[in-house]
Amino acid sequence: MSAAAFAMRAYRQVENQGIAGDKLYALGLDGILEYLRRAEAALRNPDGKDLPLKGQSLGRAYQLVEHLLAVLPDGTQEGPQLAEQPVAERLERIYTYLLARLAQANIFDDLQAIEDCRTVVTALRDSWHQGMEQAAA
C-alpha cells in the first residue's frame, strides 16, 4: 500500500469516528506546532542539547506534514476536496517547503528553520480558524 493510500485510509478512519475533516486539519496543525515547540526546547536545553527528543519531535512534525500533503486532492483520489485546484497546488508548495525546512532543522540543529516552520504553520492555523468561524456565522 502506498503512503498516500495509507494516509487516506487513516484519514477516513478518523473522520468515520466522528471528527470532522476541518477539525482534524486544525488538530494536525496544532500538533505540528507542539512538536516544533518540543524540538526547540530540546535544542535550547540549558543542560545541553537533547538530540533524541529533538529528532523525535521533528520526525513527528514531518510525519504530520507528510500526511497533510498525502491527503491533498490531485484529481485522481477521493478525499477532502478543495473548491479550487490552485489552492491545493499552493498548499502542496507550502507543505513541500515545510518538509525541506524540517529536514534542515533536524540535520543541522537549525533553530531558524524551526522558527520558519512555526511562522508558516501558525499562519495556516490562524487562517483555517478564521475560515471556520466565517463558515459558522
Rounded CA Rg of the chain: 16
Query: All 3 cell numbers of residue 107?
Result: 540535520
Each of the 137 residues of the chain gets a pLDDT tens digit; together they read 544 444 445 555 555 566 677 888 999 999 999 999 999 999 999 999 999 999 999 999 999 999 999 988 765 444 455 455 688 899 999 999 999 999 999 999 999 999 999 999 999 999 998 988 888 88
Task: Please give the C-alpha separations between residue 42 and each of 22, 35, 133, in angstroms, as whole numbers.
Answer: 31, 10, 34
pTM of the model: 0.80
Per-domain boundaries in the chain: 3-136
CATH 3.20.19.10 corresponds to the domain 3-136: no
Dihedral sign for Cα 79, 84, 89, 95, please.
negative
